[in-house]
Amino acid sequence: MAEFPLDPMLSKMMVASEKFKCSDEIISIAAMLSIGNSIFYRPKDKQVHVDNARMDFHTGNVGDHIALLKVYNSWRETNYSTQWCRENYIQVRSMKRARDIRYQLEGLLEKFEIKLTSNLNDLDAIKKTIIARFFPTLQSYKGMALIGQLNIHRLFIYILAQVGSGSSKMGCIP
């Protein structure tokens, strides 16, 4: 994972993509995450248009990672059109940087013999791969759904559940 020019958590996501057979989608997401928050621009006189354009990528009740994948794939489908970026209030320079990073990541997958596979129709596989990057920080308690925040500090575990959640009704709040 140290060979990937990415944050360690994104590197973990790249490695996990082989298991879920969605490396093509994951390198696009990793590239988009690597460029930071400089994707959309928002002119003051076009704020409603920008918000509508941005929401188009969130159709289907998807999260930010899948929306970033939709942005990249839509741009790729237009043959990396500058005009498409302008129409969707997207920074061309940022997208070109994401494309360069993606090409670099694609080369690294080949170097480490991770096949470039696509599984675009299986959003669950893509989501599982995204979640895999959080592994050792991701914890679960078998048999109980926790809604809220779990804080682990030394030997004490505090569950800060939302009022009215299943955890609070079960008497799990300290």
Per-domain boundaries in the chain: 8-132, 139-174
β-partners of residue 157 are: 152
What is the band of 94 on the pLDDT scale with cuts at 50, 70, 90?
A: very high
Instruction: Quote the pLDDT of residue 140.
Output: 47
Residue range 97-124: average pLDDT? 92
Per residue in 38-71, pLDDT (tens digit) is 898 888 898 888 888 888 888 887 888 999 999 9
Which residues, in sequence order, are CB contacts of 106 under 8 Å at separation 6+?
27, 116
Cis peptide before 5 (omega within 30 of 0): no
Q: Does residue 107 have a pLDDT over 50?
A: yes
Question: 3-state SS of 14-61?
Answer: HHHHHHHCCHHHHHHHHHHHHCCCCCECCCHHHHHHHHHHHHHCCCCC
Residue range 75-80: average pLDDT? 97
CB atoms within 10 A of CB 98: 24
Nearest to 166 by CA among 148, 149, 153, 154: 148
Determine the Cα–Cα distance for residues 115 and 76; give it in Å rounded to an integer: 20
Q: Does residue 117 have a pLDDT over 80?
A: yes
Nearest to 128 by CA among 2, 48, 45, 25: 25
Note the pTM of the prediction, 2 decimals: 0.74
- The region of weakest confidence among 17-21, 51-55, 74-78, 91-95 is 51-55
Residue range 67-86: average pLDDT? 96
